[in-house]
Structure 1
């Protein structure tokens, strides 16, 4: 089953120093905990895994940071949810088929919010943005006389 919920619980955006020279931007996302959550979807009730996460964009050397903490709700059959929680308690590891959609959801939401906050506090964007590059138009090459006559005959 899919991800059924996403929420931020903490947002911090701070600029500590003026930007001078090269800025090293590092983004990191990590799952801090996995808990069981009882949820209701209409008349149906079920179990979900609540992934507690932290996303950071750090601007070095000591320029600033953007931090998000939050939770993602992942719903599946009750057996798999219980298995996820037990696996997390045992060795803090989760299967890739679960982690991929969870981490992608976190990255999709947090990268957009980090981009907005970085503009608000005058920091460079934490992710590369597309840029338009203009190239000079190629000089028109003259058409040889023989080809020019052939084109006129076709008309």
Structure 2
């Protein structure tokens, strides 16, 4: 499987005026649709995956939402397997894991920027440098 395209069609940020204490944050990826398509850059059939990634803050304090699509060029044997498993609204694990990681890599960077702009708590921990206390 090769990812040959990524496109966001919706970016939404909503926030209440006052921040709640002890906010919990959940992130969820939902695959909305999978379809076989033809595109102009290749003679082979590709798979278009439409997705939705939502970052929700507890008590409906805030929400960040991304919608988009990914175009993948599957190996010959993957195309049938992929489409057959989607009939049951499932994605094979060997495809789902790298696919979800790709979606998170693309969207999390944008989400961090939006969280900073909207003064929201970050949904993933940022790296920190700690001072080591030297023993005498």
2:20 corresponds to which residue? 20
CA distance in 2, matches of 1:59, 1:79: 40
1:71 corresponds to which residue? 69
1:80 corresponds to which residue? 78
How many residues matched?
136
Q: 1:108 aligns with which of 105, 110, 115?
A: 105
CA distance in 1, matches of 2:86, 2:132: 52
4+ runs of 1 displaced by more than 6 Å?
Answer: none
SS in 1 for 2:60: coil
- The structure whose Rg is larger is 1
1:84-99 aligned within 5 A: 84-89=82-87, 91-99=88-96
Structure 1 alignment gaps of length 5 or more: 140-155
2:4 corresponds to which residue? 4
Which region of structure 1 is more displaced relative to structure 2, 109-118 or 95-104?
Answer: 95-104
Query: CA RMSD for the aligned pairs?
Result: 1.5
Structure 2 alignment gaps of length 5 or more: none
CA distance in 2, matches of 1:77, 1:130: 38
CA distance in 1, matches of 2:108, 2:27: 9
Length-normalised TM-score, structure 1: 0.81
Contact kept in structure 2, 1:59 and 1:65, CA below 8 Å: yes
SS in 2 for 1:102: helix
Deviations 1:64-112 (A, max 9, x none): 10000111111113453243123212x1112111112211110100111
CA distance in 1, matches of 2:91, 2:67: 19
SS in 2 for 1:124: coil
Contact kept in structure 1, 2:20 and 2:61, CA below 8 Å: no
Displacement after TM superposition at 1:6 (Å): 0.8
